Structures are given as structure tokens and as C-alpha cells.
Chains A and B, each alone.
Chain A
Amino acid sequence: MVSLTRRDFVKLAGAFAGLALVGGAAYAARTQVQRMALAQKKEPLELQYVRTFCSMCGALCGIEVVLNGGKPIAVRAIDGQPQTGACGRGASLPWLYDNPLRLRKPLKRVGEKGEGKFVEVDWDTALNEIAAKLKAIVEKHGFKSIAITHHDIWSGYMGLFQYLFGTPNRVDHSGSCFGHGTVARRHTFGIEHHRFVDPDYDNANYVLAVGRTISTASMGVVNRVMRNENLRIVVVDPRAPEIAFTSAEWIPIIPGTDAAFLLSLIHIIISERLYDEEFLMRFTNAPFLIKPDGRPLVEADIREGGGTTVYLVMDAAATPPSLADHRRATRPLLLLPEERREVTLKDGSSVRVKTAFELLAERAAKYPPAEASKITGIPKDTIVRIAREFAAYRGVADDTWYAAKNGNEYDVVRALLILNALVGNIDRRGGLVFREDQGFPSFVTERTVEGRRVAETVYGARMPEAMFADRHAPRVDRVKYPENTSTFDVVFDAILKGDPYPIKALFLIGSSPMAREMKTSKVIEAYKNLELLVVIDVLPQDDVDYADYVLPDTIFLERDETTDIKWSLHAATHVQKKMLDPPPDVDARDALWIMFEIARRAFPERAYALGWKDEYADHKRYREEFMKSFEEAVKSRLASNWRMDVAVVRRELDEKGYIMFKPKEFGVRPYRTALPTPSGKVEIYSLRAVTVGMDPLPDQRPPLYTLPKAPNEFYLVNGKSPNVSVHAALMEPMKYLIERSVWMNPKDAERLGIKDGDLIELEGIDTGVKRRARVKVTERVREGVLFTYAQSAGRTSKLLPPDHFAREGINPHHLNDARPAPGTGGNTHNTSVRVRKVM
């Protein structure tokens, strides 16, 4: 019974009057009752702030979770934390915890693969059945027939899983992300990971971001960029990334032509002599002499018994300039006088040499601004202006994160790195710098103890070499792409054709190949041919429908973890703190526990060798004993690596949530310490590329898909935003914040008679696959190009409600073909499509 006071009555009357505008009286009366019930609720806040790191995407930014009455309601940035701040993904974490979509119980498939028909089973049933199947697979096909893939979640523990299951085949997502760039970095600096080489955003004057959308990645990076009031940002992208809303300059470019743009900048900087000659002479291999066969001239070429890695330069310290070991030369020439080109070899023959710098200049000269303008669609004057600004400001060209798009990004990143070297802005304040060594322990390492090889875990368990099984067999994708970081497409070949050897069981841990890999139809076909597909996740990604078993993982708010701070130049570590138990109806377990328990049931001796005990079958006991000692071991190893008292490390992590070990020290490599390249220097001309038969200099190569030609044909590019990750994309706020339409430039729309909101059909030119989507007409995308967000739209899982918003739009990987890049094995995500208006 609702009793009304006089004042309530007045309000009610007013409400009726107003509501005539929006709806019927019955509706108004109903809502009025709810309204008053809610209005009476004025609960005081019971706030609690817990510091942790966000795992809504792979960047792992430091955040403070705001809990009200023990439930997460919001997030905050942490002042002073080296990688602080949450984006829309992080802010949506309160929706993850009690999301109706959360996987709640272990599921076993009962229908056909793809039907999405499952029954709930208890943990013992699921784990015993998986273990029995795995055992049978291993008996028939060996341990290497097991593959594991992942993204960011649990990534630190993957090394353990490889020993646990005796397989080399941990093939991660990197080929779909930063793989091309990683190979390019290795070939230029000898340093691989994109985290280890990054601009010093805090002190930079000018950041050129080509194919790199700063705003999509770590918010710690965004924080550093935006705090720097003196920084000018130029982004080059076929669509306006979110950072184009800021004071940044956006230069639209034709997809897949970034290398031509960059080589043109290199050409201008060289021809106008805007480069840092001293840096190039002393710290790069620009003065190295290159023979007509493309190989460097070494001492062994000219002298019996000479060194094969003693690279020669022409040293102007002598008169006339003469050949010298690059390490001893004081004035190595970048440009050779014609009369010094002829070099006599030890067999008496002679060759004409050029310097690496001259070869770079020749290569770049293929792309004068007028020519580059034709290729890239960027006005000639803009190219010239950017080149001059870059040199004048001593800019830094960002070395990319998410840039696996057209299949030719190896050359793009090589050109970017060379551009930085040309202006001498390497490991200097405001330049492209090398991150401090983190001193963070690996969770498992191989070493020799008392003459025996063992795999030793951070918590002290030792697996003897005799139990490594196939751990050191060639990784399935490395057989085909030895230079790659990962090429998951090869895992599908291994499943479908046994090429190079069969993969029969696959674990997906917190990652969705259907959202990240090329050619979805191939992914599905491979899934259907697997003997065992196990998905360990928290939400129903599309892949779940094809799984034999789906196992609910805990979310990051429900467990402890320690890791290095990934997107900071300093050496620092932060912790994730368990602040919640899973909701009562969610029977989730840690993926770490799941993998060990499967192993204990299939190959008990392997689990025991890595420190597992039967008692840990009790998840609570595993948390209290195994995880606790694991975490403690990580902290004490950290303390010993940094020669600190473990009590201090523990206290700082407990109180502040993070600890700084060493601030970034500039000017170390290549100045005081050699780089791990063959020459020890920055390699303008990549000697590693020469060894593996790749082009040692960047060039503009065509994208790996058919280019659009007809008036109704377009490039289809995809990308991310600060709202995009496979998990965040399913959170309710993203219904409103992510645009699931396909963007089209107004000029193209007008030409084709298409209006904003129209439905169009897109047909992949290379695959013939057709999908439908609504159009957003916007100048945020270049003419001739369509754009859509990756991972966020066109979802298909039958476990999603039929009207779920993530079903809208397209998953661009439905339309593209599987074309890994030769050499790097990196993915090609963009493609071309034919467009037809539907209504």
C-alpha cells in the first residue's frame, strides 16, 4: 500500500500533466510508484578505493577501482603512477563483474559445432573429460599437437603452460597486431617488442604517428602525451583516429601507402641535408660499404684470415680516405668520392661499393614528393612541410603498436625507425628511446643445476629435461615464417592440412581468433576439424559456439597478480588486487588452476614436476597455498633482482599499488652500450634482413589484397578506439559509445546515392563473402575508403541474446582473405569490397 502525503499528491498531479507529452496515464502511474520508491532511497555512500591494473585490454593501465558497498561502480586515475588512467574500456569494468552474459558454469557441447548448444556440467566432469581426450590425442599425435593461444589475460603464465603440456605451440595474437613492427625493430635495433622501443612522449616536441593510433592503446601513454603542452602531434591514417579530435593534425592517406610517404620524407631530409651526420656516422651502419651483391664489405673480403663480422667503412681520417674497421674509424664517410669506390678483394678482383647511406638515398629517391603524392594521395606541399618540420623539431616517429593492416607494414616500420635515426633522435630525451630493463622475473626459466638441465619455476619447482617432451620442437608457425612473432593462420593450416604437422587440440585463453584473425570462414573450418577445442574465458566470444568445452575464468577483479608496468619507460611493477569474489551464481575458476587441473588429470607427473599437488583440486586451497606462494616468490625475486629488501617491495606494492625501481636513463644505447644488432649499431641497412634473404632497405610494396578499381569498389580498413577490446565491446556502455556502422566519405556517398543510415551490402573482392551494414556518412574517413571498428561488431555467438547490440554491423574478417605477409608472417586485416545499396 502506497500512502500519499499531500505534497506527494501535488507532485503526482504535476507528473501526470507533464507525462501527457510522452505517454499514457497508466504508464505514468506505474512509474510514479517506482519513482517514489527510488526517491525515498538516499543511501549514503560506502566508498572504498582499491588500486589495481586494468585488464579490459592488453595495455594494463594503473587504475583505482571505486567500490560502493563492496561493488565496483567506477574507476579513477592514480596520480603519479607511471602508467595511469582508464579509458572507456576500463570505465566499463563495473559492467563486467555482474554482467548477464558472464559465463557461469562449465559448458559441454551437445549440438553440432557452431550450433551453440551446450549443457552445464560440473567442474570434475568437464576437467576429467578434457583430460581423457587430451591424453588420447597426445598418445596418437604427440604433445606438439596441442596449441594454446591468448592475448593479454594470463599471458605471463603461458610459459608455464608450455612445460605443463610439453608443447612449443603457444602461438599468441601478435601476428594480428604488432608482429610486422616487431620484426622491423629486430632488424633495425636488435630489440623486438614494441614496448621496449617507444617515444619519450613526456619530452618530445613533435610526434609523427603513421598507422599508429596513440589514442587506442595505453591511457598511460595518452596521459604522457597530453601532459606535454609543447608537443605537436601529426597522425597519418585513412580515417581520423580519436586523437584527431584533439589539437593534433590529421593527414588522410590512401591505405597501404605509408612506406611511400615515409620514404619521401627520408628523401627530402637527405636531399636537403637536414639529417644528423654525426649520429649517422658514429652510431648507425650508414657508412658501411655494401658490395654489388648487397652484402656488406668485411675484412675477410680483402684479407686472408680477416674477420667475417669486421664491417668496413671508408675513413676520411686518413689521406686519402682508406678502408677501416667501422669500430676504429673516426671519420667514416657517408658519401664516397667516386675515385674511392673501387675496392680490391683478396683474390685480386675488384668491386664497386656504395655506402649503406647512398643506397638508402637511392631507394628514397624513387619517391620524390610529386611521385609520393600520386601514390599516397597526400598533397606534395604537405609532404615537404612535414619532412622539414620533422627535421626542424627533431621529431620522433612513433614505431607503431596496432599496425598489422595491409601486409606491407614491415617496410613501414623500417622506414619509421630509419627516419628517427636520420635526425639522430635515438635514446635521447624526447626521441625514440629504449625502455629500462624491468628486472621482472620470468615465471619459468631453463637452467643447469648440478649438471642437469631443468625448467625452474619462479616458486622453485624443477621439471627435469627428460620431461620437456616436445617443448623444443619447432613451433608450427615458425617452420614457415622463421622471422615472425606469431602467425596464427599457420595453426589453421596445421589443423586443416597437417602442414607442417597436425594440431589436434586448441586452448583459447581470454582471446578470440574469430575477432582477431583473418578470414573467419577458415577459422570456422579449422575449428570444425579439431578433435578438442577448449575455451577459457569470461564472456561468450564468437569462438565459444565451436568449443567442445567452455570453462568460466575469473575476472581480474577477483584475483591477485603482479606484473611490470608495460607502457612506461621506467622500470616499475604494479599489482592487481583481489577485491571481489565472483557473484554467487558464477562458478568461475582461475585459468591457471584450470590448466594445472587438466594436466594433473591427463599427465599427473608433469603437473607435480611443476609444483602442483592433489590438494589444489580445491580452488580455495590453491588460492591460499599455491597462488600465495607464487605471488610471494615473484615479489622476493623482484626484490633480489633490484637488491632491495622484500619487505619494502611488499609494502610499496600494498600501499601504493606500484613500485618504481629505476627511472629511464637516456643516452645509453647505442652510445655507451652496443645494440644487439649484427653491427652493434642502428642498422639503416639491415644486416639481419640480408642474412634471411629479405630486402635490407624499406620500399613501397603493394598491399596483399586486390586493390579497388571500379567506382563502387572501396578499401575496407578497420581499426580500434579507446572503447575497443574483445571484452569491452560486449559491455552495455559500448552500445552507445562504439559506432557499429561503416564509415563512408560524403563525396563517395553522394556519387553512389547513399545517405547516412542507409543499409549497404559489402562483398569482399577476394572472398566473395557478403555482409550488410548501416552507413555513417562522415568526413572522418578518406574518399575511396570505408572504415569500421575491429572486434566490436558483427558478432555471431548464439550465446548472445538475439537482439544484442554487438550483432549489428560487420566483422571485417568475414570479408578478408588469409594472407600473411611474406617474411614476417604478419596478418593482412584490411581488404577491398564492392558496395551495393540495399535500401
Chain B
Amino acid sequence: MRLAYLWDSRKCIACGACIINCAANYPELRFEKEPNPMWKWLGANIRRVIREKGKPELRLLSCQHCENAPCVTACPTGASYIEPETGLVKLNKDKCIGCKSCIVACPYGARWLHPKTMYPEKCPGPVCEQLIARGEEPLCVAVCPAEARDFGDIDDPQSSISQKIKRHRVSRMLEHLGTEPKYFVVR
């Protein structure tokens, strides 16, 4: 099984529901003055990037769950790893020494420093991890009003995500780096 995320840029209305729902992973940061100082953002694993020049363009950035993940390679202790059962990039906090190598290594800027624990946080957050383990959708997918998000097994040709990848024009961000991301963008 290889679990992957999909974001349909043709459908996303930038409502922010996925981002805000993602913040449920970090309830301890809800009312913090600076919940995510590194990103100057809320305590969530998804960032919003807007291009102000030319046709309005939006990108929602989060962990790309690379098959060839620079954060895993850079981690000196093996705390960052690819979970063999799911293919998701995860962090074993018991092994993390807080060196931030993973933050620096990630070309997508997908990791941020939790201001209280100083762990390098990323998607999926602790709540979504448990939801995924139960076979439920992560919170960003479950909330999306535009059905612009999907999550599932790309090894299963019948899965909804596999069908969408087959049907639509999809790309992956910074593909030329050879990271083999598993975050598919429908264009």
C-alpha cells in the first residue's frame, strides 16, 4: 500500500477549511499568539501560497510524502522515516534530537517548528495519524467543500485517488528534483 494525497487546483476556492481543520492536530496552539513562528502561520501543516502576478494562482503546500524523501536522508538518527506499511513519511519523536536537518532538507518547506515542543511538525499531524490508522480520511480531505482533496492508496487501481490520477492531468511539485512526491496536483 502506498498512501498519497491529491489536490485539485481546478476546484479549490481557497476557503482555508483544510488548513484550519489541520490545526486540530495541535490543540495546544489554538490560542497562542504565535502558534507557528517559523511560517508566521497558524499551527497547521498546510501552507497557502498565492501568486500575486498574472492570473491568480494558488498552491496549498504540505508534506509531499516523497518516496525519495530528502528529510529522511538528512535525518541523523532515523527519526524521519518512511512507514513501510503506508509509504507515508513520518517522524518518530522518540528518536528525534531536534537538529532541524529535516526542516532544512525539505525542498517544499513542508516542516515547521512546534514552538512549545520544538519538534519539526509535518503532515499528517497526530490526530490525522490516528484517523488514517483507523481507516478514516485525514481532516483536510474530510472537510473540503469543493471535493478538491483526496487521499488513498495509489497501489489500488480502484481507489478514488488512482481513478482521479488516471482521469485528469496531474503533476507533482518540483518533480525534477527526483524526490518522487506522493502529493498529486490536478491542473
A binding-site residues for B, Cβ under 8 Å: 7, 10-11, 13-15, 17-19, 21-22, 28, 31-32, 34-35, 38-39, 42, 44-45, 61, 66, 68, 73-77, 84-88, 90-92, 94-95, 99-100, 215, 219-220, 222-223, 225-227, 240, 242-247, 250, 721-723, 732-733, 735-737, 746, 776-780
Distance, CA A94 to CA B22, complexed state (A): 12
Query: In the complex, what residues of A have CB within 8 A of residue B93's CB?
Result: 39
Report yes or no: A77 in contact with B144, Cβ–Cβ below 8 A.
Answer: yes
Most chain A CB within a 10 A radius of its CB, from B16, B30, B144, B148: B16
A-B contact count (CB 8 A): 190
B176 interfacial by beta-carbon distance below 8 Å: no
Report yes or no: A86 in contact with B17, Cβ–Cβ below 8 A.
Answer: yes
Return B54 CB to nearest CB of chain A, in Å: 6
Distance, CA A91 to CA B21, complexed state (A): 6
CB closest residue in chain A, given B77: A14
Query: Which of A18, A34, A242 has a CB less than 8 Å from the CB of B13?
Result: A242
24 A-B pairs with CB atoms under 8 Å apart are A28-B118, A31-B118, A35-B117, A39-B93, A45-B127, A68-B127, A74-B143, A85-B144, A87-B16, A88-B15, A88-B19, A90-B17, A215-B14, A225-B146, A242-B15, A250-B56, A722-B13, A732-B31, A733-B23, A733-B42, A737-B48, A776-B52, A778-B52, A779-B53
Query: In the complex, what residues of B have CB within 8 A of residue A35's CB?
Result: 98, 116-119
Report yes or no: A246 in contact with B24, Cβ–Cβ below 8 A.
Answer: no
Report yes or no: B16 in contact with A11, Cβ–Cβ below 8 A.
Answer: no
Given contacts A245-B57, A737-B20, contact A44 B130 (CB under 8 A): yes
Return A819 CB to nearest CB of chain B, in Å: 31
Report yes or no: B143 in contact with A75, Cβ–Cβ below 8 A.
Answer: yes
Return A236 CB to nearest CB of chain B, in Å: 15
B174 interfacial by beta-carbon distance below 8 Å: no
Interface residues of B in 65-84 (CB under 8 A from A): 77
Query: Which of B10, B14, B40, B145 has a CB less than 8 Å from the CB of A247?
Result: B10
Given contacts A94-B24, A245-B13, contact A76 B142 (CB under 8 A): yes
CB closest residue in chain B, given A241: B13
Query: In the complex, what residues of B have CB within 8 A of residue A19's CB?
Result: 98, 118
Query: Which of B100, B116, B127 has a CB less than 8 Å from the CB of A18?
Result: B100
Distance, CA A225 to CA B15, complexed state (A): 15
Distance, CA A56 to CA B42, complexed state (A): 19
Query: Which of A77, A240, A732 has a CB less than 8 Å from the CB of B142?
Result: A77
Report yes or no: A18 in contact with B98, Cβ–Cβ below 8 A.
Answer: yes
Would you call the interface of chain B mostly helix, strand, loop, or mixed? Answer: loop
Given contacts A14-B97, A222-B145, A780-B52, contact A87 B17 (CB under 8 A): yes
Report yes or no: B21 in contact with A74, Cβ–Cβ below 8 A.
Answer: yes
Query: In the complex, what residues of B have CB within 8 A of residue A15's CB?
Result: 97-99, 118
CB closest residue in chain B, given A778: B52
Query: In the complex, what residues of A have CB within 8 A of residue B108's CB?
Result: none
Distance, CA A793 to CA B18, complexed state (A): 23
Query: In the complex, what residues of B have CB within 8 A of residue A28's CB?
Result: 118
Given contacts A15-B98, A39-B93, contact A74 B56 (CB under 8 A): no
Give 6 A-B pairs besides A18-B99, A223-B146, A733-B16 with Cβ atoms closer than 8 angstroms.
A18-B100, A44-B130, A74-B142, A86-B17, A86-B145, A732-B35
Query: Which of B27, B113, B146 has a CB less than 8 Å from the CB of A73?
Result: B27
Distance, CA A375 to CA B143, complexed state (A): 42
CB closest residue in chain B, given A31: B118
B12 interfacial by beta-carbon distance below 8 Å: yes
Report yes or no: A733 in contact with B19, Cβ–Cβ below 8 A.
Answer: yes
Distance, CA A36 to CA B166, complexed state (A): 45
Report yes or no: B12 in contact with A246, Cβ–Cβ below 8 A.
Answer: yes
B110 interfacial by beta-carbon distance below 8 Å: no
Query: In the complex, what residues of A have CB within 8 A of residue B10's CB?
Result: 246-247
Interface residues of B in 93-126 (CB under 8 A from A): 93-94, 96-100, 113, 115-119, 126
Report yes or no: A245 in contact with B127, Cβ–Cβ below 8 A.
Answer: no
CB closest residue in chain B, given A71: B27
B156 interfacial by beta-carbon distance below 8 Å: no
Distance, CA A127 to CA B12, complexed state (A): 47
Distance, CA A134 to CA B100, complexed state (A): 64
Report yes or no: B116 in contact with A227, Cβ–Cβ below 8 A.
Answer: no
Given contacts A73-B27, A250-B56, contact A226 B146 (CB under 8 A): yes
Distance, CA A555 to CA B139, complexed state (A): 23
Distance, CA A7 to CA B142, complexed state (A): 38
CB closest residue in chain B, given A739: B50
Query: In the complex, what residues of B have CB within 8 A of residue A76's CB?
Result: 137, 139, 142-143
Query: Which of A94, A95, A99, A779 has a CB less than 8 Å from the CB of B52?
Result: A779
Most chain B CB within a 10 A radius of its CB, from A66, A95, A733: A733
B1 interfacial by beta-carbon distance below 8 Å: no
Query: In the complex, what residues of A have CB within 8 A of residue B56's CB?
Result: 240, 244-245, 250, 779-780
Distance, CA A45 to CA B126, complexed state (A): 10
B28 interfacial by beta-carbon distance below 8 Å: yes
Query: In the complex, what residues of A have CB within 8 A of residue B14's CB?
Result: 215, 242, 245, 721-722
